[in-house]
Amino acid sequence: MVSVICMTRGVEQQFEQWKRFMGSQMFPWKRKNLKVCKCGHPPEIHDDIKGCKTEKCPCLKFEPREEVMRVAGTLRPIQLFEYVIPADCIPTFLVMQGSLPMSFLHGAKMRPETNVIGWALRKGMGLKKMPTYSQKEFDEALKNCYQHVPMDGMAVYPLGIKEDKFGPIDFGPEGKYDQEWL
């Protein structure tokens, strides 16, 4: 997961509406199941010579199966906002808020007022700069955008990001996953 730290400004009732919508947005969250191969069989019945030893299974090599779950973005109101979503969903987070992607296209310039405040807060909070994306990446992100967020009368300025750890987690009987930490 990644935390996108935002600064907000807006009309109160619009802001309340924004909070409700952001709290109910769903994002696809991918992780790799280390106990199930993409062919559906467990790793133990694979070897380096024949691959999967199950009869008629064409699988040549064990590869963890990718599984996708929908997770709700977690909105944590502090003075600023931290919005926790899967790291590769930042473009989706931007497109669902309409005009936001403009600022994060490769080569785009931040508006001066957000630049100065943004720089100071980012330094103070030890955040990384917001990544930028291509138009193609934003077009792709639209496919994961299940719901647009009404943005009338308010503005959101993403300031930067804070990345979580990534690595294997053992859930015991429920499996072992290579994943972003929640």
Q: Which residues contact 100 (CB under 8 A, 6 or more apart)?
A: 94, 156, 158
C-alpha to C-alpha distance for 87 and 74, rounded to whole angstroms:
13
Q: Which residues contact 50 (CB under 8 A, 6 or more apart)?
A: none
C-alpha to C-alpha distance for 47 and 60, rounded to whole angstroms:
9
Contact 15, 73 (CB under 8 A): no
| Greatest alpha-carbon span in the chain | 65
* Closest to Zn ion by CB, 19 or 38: 38
* Closest to Zn ion by CB, 33 or 54: 54
Query: Residue 15, SS3?
Result: helix
Report the interface residues with Zn ion, using CB under 5 A. Answer: 37, 39, 41, 52, 54, 57, 59
**Cα distances (angstroms) measured from residue 104 to each of 80, 122, 130, 138:** 20, 16, 8, 10
